[in-house]
């Protein structure tokens, strides 16, 4: 695989203006400034691809420093998932950038009766984002949010009576709606559109949809709390393939990891080579719509179980690699009969860098929920040390972020 972008090089001019402005914003963040040393110019897509990628912790650090505020209207704060460290916050202005989405993707129209079944509250953005899109379409909106197990049948009866034509939610929640309808023998013959966002499409959903609402088709959005909506698809596209919006630049590296750069100057989050942990590739969509599409191949953020808790290896590595003098880091887990006896962060350092491994160890331990919890009673089993060489695959020469070893 090689580097590829959702935009051809000749179309990148204005896009790079926004990337440069985000680079300047990120350089003002004291904790991140050193990693951008030497990144003075971003004149081409190739130079953009050479910038260090951002992960969630980096954006959280940047946003805590920048505290962005919308030019007009209100500034909304949302929280994204994540099992390590403190809650991750994302910002968005009134409208959630959905006017830009609606300019290219119109699953709803004025005649629709739309059920917004994304959960509302607890600082999650999806319900409000979908409400923004529905608002722009001029349709009728039924804001249901999440319901409890014993409420499905009554609500489904209400939807049938209201001749609901569209419903939206995460695929897991949509599965509950369609499974309950099927089990209760309720059909929704007027339903034609199923909007989804937040997870990969689940093929089992189509089976229940075929019984409950035979005319319904899926309309997907791909994005995150940090990037907002990156791309969309229609019933003519494969469920894992999305058309990036013009205000988003998608890059697939040789490792097939996707990163995203906003091209929207109004974007509050400084999204510059932001990695969601999704793997993918730039491709053509079989629907025939011109332009480059992205195929999402699923999560590859190397979450590994450590004493029953998920450890985000890439986040630990990224944090270690932010340390001045560290050129590369790797997580080495030692196990005995499947249980982690030690977790080590191995560091390749520049000669004479004098990296303070004990301070870095304390910082990583304190900032990583999985490590501080898993090693609560034996914190000395989490170590950070410098090495002459990281552990590499002898055959391919690849050096993974994670190596797991059985204790001999």
CB-nearer residue toward Zn ion: 70 or 287: 287
Among the listed residues 53, 88, 66, 86, the one whose alpha carbon sits nearest the alpha carbon of residue 321: 53
Determine if 285 is a binding residue for Zn ion (CB under 5 A): yes
Residue 328: strand, helix, or coil: strand
| Binding track, positions 227-266, relative to Zn ion; x by CB under 5 A | ----------x-----------------------------
Q: Determine, following the binding rule CB under 5 A, whether residue 287 of this chain makes contact with Zn ion.
A: yes
Contact flags string 105-144 toward Zn ion, x per CB under 5 A: ----------------------------------------
Q: How far apart are alpha carbons 224 and 67 in whole angstroms?
A: 19
* Choice between 104 and 289, CB closer to Zn ion: 289
Stretch that binds Zn ion, among 19-27, 183-191, 218-226, 279-287 (CB under 5 A): 279-287
Supply the minimum distance, in Å, between the C-beta of residue 233 and Zn ion.
Answer: 6
The b-or-e profile of 19-43 (16+ CB within 10 A means b, else e) is: bbebbebbbebeebeebbeeeeebe
Count of residues engaged in binding Zn ion, rule: CB under 5 A: 4
- When asked if residue 367 is in the footprint of Zn ion (CB under 5 A), the reply is no
Q: First-to-last CA distance in the chain? A: 37
Distance CA 249, CA 28 (A): 23
Q: Which of 189, 291 has the CB closer to Zn ion?
A: 291
CA distance 379 to 365: 8
The three-class DSSP label of residue 222 is: strand
Is 241 or 322 the residue whose CB approaches Zn ion more closely?
A: 241
Site for Zn ion in 87-106 (CB under 5 A): none
Q: How far is the CB of 234 from Zn ion (least distance, A)?
A: 6
Q: How far is CA 339 from the centre of its chain?
A: 29
Task: Give min distance, CB of 240 to Zn ion, in A.
Answer: 11
**CA gap 49, 258 in Å, rounded:** 11
Residues in touch with Zn ion (CB under 5 A): 237, 285, 287, 289
């Amino acid at each position: 695989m090689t580097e590829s972008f959702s935009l051809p090089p000749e179309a990148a001019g204005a896009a790079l203006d926004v990337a440069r402005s985000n680079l300047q914003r990120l350089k003002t963040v004291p904790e991140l400034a050193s990693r951008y040393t030497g990144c003075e110019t971003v004149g081409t897509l190739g130079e953009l691809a050479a910038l260090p990628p951002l992960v969630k912790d980096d954006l959280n650090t940047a946003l805590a420093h920048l505290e962005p505020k919308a030019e007009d209207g209100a500034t909304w704060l949302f929280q994204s998932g994540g099992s390590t460290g403190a809650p991750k916050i994302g910002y968005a202005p009134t409208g959630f950038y959905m006017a830009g989405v609606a300019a290219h993707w119109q699953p709803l129209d004025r005649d629709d009766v739309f059920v917004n079944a994304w959960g509302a509250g607890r600082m999650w953005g999806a319900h409000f984002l979908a409400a923004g899109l529905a608002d722009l379409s001029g349709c009728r909106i039924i804001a249901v949010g999440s319901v409890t197990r014993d409420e499905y049948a009554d609500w489904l009866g209400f939807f049938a009576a209201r001749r609901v034509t569209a419903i939206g939610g995460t695929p897991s929640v949509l599965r509950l709606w369609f499974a309950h309808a099927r089990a209760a023998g309720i059909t929704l013959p007027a339903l034609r559109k199923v909007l989804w966002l937040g997870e990969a499409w689940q093929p089992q959903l189509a089976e229940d949809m075929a019984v409950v609402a035979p005319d319904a088709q899926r309309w997907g959005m791909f994005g995150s709390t940090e990037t907002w909506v990156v791309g969309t698809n229609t019933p003519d596209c494969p469920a894992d393939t999305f058309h990036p919006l013009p205000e988003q630049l998608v890059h697939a590296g040789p490792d097939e990891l996707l990163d995203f750069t906003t091209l929207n100057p109004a974007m509050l989050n400084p999204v510059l080579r932001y990695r969601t942990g999704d793997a993918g590739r730039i491709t053509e969509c079989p629907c025939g719509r011109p332009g480059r599409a992205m195929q999402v191949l699923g999560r590859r953020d190397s979450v590994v179980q450590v004493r029953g808790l998920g450890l985000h290896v890439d986040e630990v590595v990224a944090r270690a690699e932010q340390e001045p003098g560290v050129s590369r880091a790797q997580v080495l887990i030692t196990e005995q009969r499947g249980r982690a006896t030690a977790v080590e962060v191995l560091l390749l350092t520049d000669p004479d860098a004098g990296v303070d491994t004990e301070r870095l160890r304390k910082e990583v331990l304190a900032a990583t929920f999985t490590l501080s919890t898993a090693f609560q009673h034996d914190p000395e089993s989490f170590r950070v040390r410098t090495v002459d060489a990281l552990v590499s695959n002898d055959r391919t020469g690849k050096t993974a972020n994670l190596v797991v070893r059985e204790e001999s």
